[in-house]
Amino acid sequence: MEARRGWRAVPKVRQVGFFTPNEPPPPARTQSGPPDSNSPPLSNSPAGNSLSPVMIPPPRHLSDNLAHRATSPLPVPETSAFRRPIPGGDRVAVVGSYNPTDSMLGASPPLTSPSSRIGDGEFSEESSPGWFRRSNSAKFASSFPGGGFDLTSIKSSETLEVEVKKPVEVPGPNIAEKSGVAGAELQTESQSSSKPLKAKTTKAERRALQESQRAAKAAAKGEATGKPAISSEGAATSKPVKQQPSRKKDALPAATSVAASDRKGVDRPPEKERKKEVPPPRMQFDDKNRVEKAKKRAVVNQTEARNRVELFRHLPQYERGSQLPDLESKFFLLDPMHPAVYKVGLQYLAGDISGGNARCIAMLQAFQEVIKDYSTPPEKSLTRDLTAKVGSYVSFLIECRPLSMSMGNAIRFLKNRIAKLPLSLSESEAKESLCSDINRFINEKIVLADKVIVRHAASKVRDGDVLLTYGSSCVVEMILLYAHELGKQFRVVIVDSRPKLEGQALLRRLVAKGLNCTYTHINAVSYIMHEVTRVFLGASSVLSNGTVYSRVGTACVAMVAHAFRVPVLICCEAYKFHERVQLDSICSNELGDPDAIAKASGRMDVNYVDNLANKENLQLLNLMYDATPLEYISMIVTDYGMIPPTSVPVIVREYRREHLWI
């Protein structure tokens, strides 16, 4: 313990900004972990905190909530100990003790069946803000009866290691948990948190395994990630925060493989203890350990991309090209995976399905198939087992492509429904009820909501208007077609951008219906904005502080429109609202294929960047989403009517209540 405290004293810091990736690591922090010191070049300054700046310590009350749900036979004092957010020296020490191989999970109590954990995690998600979800589930996990897991031993780093190992052993649901993708839905997070906890049962062998691995790692790498992890642990501002990163790391392995030069990871082990209180954070992909571990559990073989921008190291990025053929070849080998889910995953990976609504509907329909084909294994309860299965499928989908917020909300809804099934129902009745619930969700929250939105928004289109839209949003397309059918006279300007060029498909469809369209790229948006009267934009999600999270480029268009005093209307269904608050586009985002921006298709003469991908000092960044602040938005059109962006938390509050009543 003392040693761990020492570790805590040295904060782990991540360099942000431009720097050469090959700098020698700073002097090793004094950590008792693996000899390798700090993590790769990045996390070197001792002053910083390895935790992502956006981590927020979870509230204490979460533990109370979780306490109610705890079903674990664990001795009360221990569980309560875990609940305390800032524990005494022990817990702190554990958190601080950073042993990269040790663990992703803090000393969490024995893992119970994944399904229960996931279920509870889900509950906790619902009751608490996103950041806290993971810790909640972690907490839960800790309270579950474990395979003779000794809580006191958790505090030791060894235990942590054991925990880390466990996830590897437990397939399925664990994978789901581990593969929390940065920016993935909370749900994933809770799953990830629950995963590590499960692995407690074979703590001894895991510990041994970890130590050997650690030794191997130390030998293999000059700078072990362990060091950074340790230092970060030490530096943890708060335990929960630490737990979060560690959780994330766990999740990460499932999703990505850690490149050799991965940076510091967050210290997982110390956080395991905290996990119970802290909702698992999203998976941060800059911890090599976690990434390794997640990778072991991954269904999809992904190789991490090489030159990655430092600022976005916490997001997963893979090299494309190999994933799809790899998955396709494994089609008949993946036993636990349902073919419908596999198919949807492949479609995501290939980019055949894109757009929040389409992805959500495809996923829900795949889950309907899963439920129809599901039969409860003997000795298991339907709710728990099904929740576990759903969790594992979700983790697979995350590996294919990180979840969008709409999908996250839908998954949370589904898990909620599964959990609320009355025990008296027979299996077939339960399955039928779930299928009809899914149908109702799709119908009410998406299909009918779109109709209401279209009606409201079309009333804002007047004759003589010039409407501008960016990219391709299915709702905006519906609005334009409906207004056209109503006979309104207007022009449309479609702004598009590389590399996806989604606007071209929209252009084709609109022109086919007879609308007057203009097409331009985003670099001309300020040129064309003076003649525009209204801007209609879609959204992937709207956050509680009114920030609109949408396709990258939307913020630009909204800003230019604001400068020209053109009203900006966001059209978004209410199920995409989220209570999270995001201040920038960095802390949570999705990284696309960097090669897509390097190559300009069809133009051989301008492919200058093509061969430079392997250069050390060139880093390619292909962001998928960005955050538009609420000052640029005039109105949000939802199925609840037209609301100002400041009223989003009101809708989240009301909607959430209704959601729980369903």
Sequence letter at residue 356 = G
Residue 600 beta carbon to another protein: minimum distance, rounded to whole angstroms? 38
Residue 187 or 634: which CB sits closer to another protein?
A: 634
- Angle, CA of 125, 446 and 316, to the nearest 5°: 50
Binding mask 164-203 for another protein (x = CB under 8 A): ----------------------------------------
Minimum separation from the CB atom of position 644 to another protein (A): 5
**Secondary element (H or E) of residue 514:** none
Q: What is the DSSP letter of 102?
A: T
Does 644 bind another protein (CB under 8 A)? Our answer is: yes
Give the total of residues touching another protein (CB under 8 A).
16
* Binding residue for another protein, selected from 350, 499, 647, 656, defined by CB under 8 A: 647
Cβ atoms of 238 and 271 within 8 Å: the answer is: no
Smallest separation (angstroms) from another protein to the CB of 462? 8
Q: State the Cα angle at 456 between 455 and 462, rounded to 5°.
A: 90
Collapse the DSSP code of 84 into the 3-class scheme (helix H, G, I; strand E, B; otherwise coil) and give the result: coil
- Under rule CB under 8 A, residue 650 binds another protein: yes
Nearest of 620, 616, 600 to residue 608 by alpha carbon:
600
Which residues partner with 643 through β-bridges?
Answer: 636
Lay out the site mask for another protein across 362-401 (x = CB under 8 A, - = otherwise): ----------------------------------------
Site for another protein in 617-636 (CB under 8 A): 634-635
Residues 14, 19: Cα–Cα separation, whole Å: 11
**How is 408-475 classified by DSSP, letter by letter?**
HHHHHHHHHHHHT--TTS-HHHHHHHHHHHHHHHIIIIIIIHHHHHHHHHHTT--TTEEEEEES--HH
Q: Kindly state whether residue 640 participates in binding another protein, applying the rule CB under 8 A.
A: yes
Per-residue binding string, another protein, 578-617, x by CB under 8 A, is ----------------------------------------
C-alpha 167/C-alpha 34 separation (Å) is 21
CB of 448 to another protein, least distance (A): 15
Nearer to another protein, 505 or 563 (CB): 563
Single residue of 308, 460, 562, 659 touching another protein by CB under 8 A: 460
Task: Choose between 603 and 657: whose C-beta lies nearer to another protein.
Answer: 657
Alpha carbons 260 and 257: distance in angstroms, whole number: 9
Minimum Å distance from CB 364 to another protein?
A: 25
Residue selected from 443, 504, 516, 646 as contacting another protein according to rule CB under 8 A: 646
Member of 145, 499, 567, 629 binding another protein (CB under 8 A): 567
Q: Which of residues 525-564 bind another protein (CB under 8 A)?
A: 534
Q: Applying CB under 8 A, does 659 fall inside the site for another protein?
A: no
Interface with another protein, residue 285, by CB under 8 A: no
The dihedrals phi and psi of 599, each to the nearest 5 degrees, come to: -100, 135
CA–CA distance, 110 with 395 (Å, rounded to integer): 21
Residue 277 contacts residue 58 (beta carbons within 8 Å): yes
d(CA 588, CA 571): 22
Helix (H) or strand (E) holding 264: none
Nearest approach in angstroms of CB 449 to another protein is: 14
By CB under 8 A, name the binding residues for another protein: 460, 534, 567, 569, 634-635, 640-644, 646-647, 650-651, 654
